[in-house]
């Protein structure tokens, strides 16, 4: 599983000109399930993301988690994080999970993140969306379960 976290002051996702989800302070989480992934990776990511200290405390040190700041998450499935760009000029996405598995693991991740106490808003799976965000910091974190 792969994820990109962006700390935001606010974010929204639009589909066909309509805003379908919006958050204030929190994280935009781009999530990619790969062929070898299962619920264990989704569980680990949900726990880690809820508790990762990415927000400033009173002394401006990044000592506060999404839970501590009562932030929200905007979770968006993004299979393109599985891109293999090393060969040729067109990326291959052959390591991405098949759509049914990817959707199952994306929904599982969202449910587990919500169960950790984080309000979760979602994009729409397999849809062309426009994601609007105000990256705060900027703070952007790359996660890959292969590295854990």
Nearest to 148 by CA among 65, 67, 76, 48: 48
Strands (E), the chain: 2-15, 18-23, 26-32, 53-56, 62-65, 72-77, 120-122, 130-144
6 is known as an active-site residue = no
80 is known as an active-site residue = yes
Catalytic residue from among 6, 45, 55, 78: 78
List the helix and strand counts (H, then E) for the chain. Answer: 2, 8
79 is known as an active-site residue = yes
Catalytic residue from among 19, 80, 125, 140: 80
Catalytic residue from among 79, 93, 101, 109: 79
**Tokens representing residue 98 in the block:** 């098949």
**Which active-site residues does the annotation give?**
78-80
């Amino acid at each position: 599983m792969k994820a990109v976290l962006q700390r935001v002051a606010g974010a929204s996702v639009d589909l066909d000109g309509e805003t379908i989800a919006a958050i204030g302070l929190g994280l935009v989480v781009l999530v990619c399930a790969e062929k070898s992934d299962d619920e264990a990776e989704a569980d680990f990511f949900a726990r880690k993301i809820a508790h990762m200290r990415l927000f400033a405390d009173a002394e401006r040190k990044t000592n506060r988690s999404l839970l501590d700041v009562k932030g929200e998450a905007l979770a968006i499935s993004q299979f393109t994080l599985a891109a293999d760009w090393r060969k040729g000029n067109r990326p291959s996405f052959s390591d991405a999970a098949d759509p049914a598995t990817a959707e199952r693991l994306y929904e599982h991740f969202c449910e587990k993140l919500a169960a950790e106490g984080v309000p979760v808003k979602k994009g729409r799976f397999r849809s062309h969306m426009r994601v609007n965000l105000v990256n705060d910091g900027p703070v952007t974190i790359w996660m890959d379960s292969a590295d854990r």
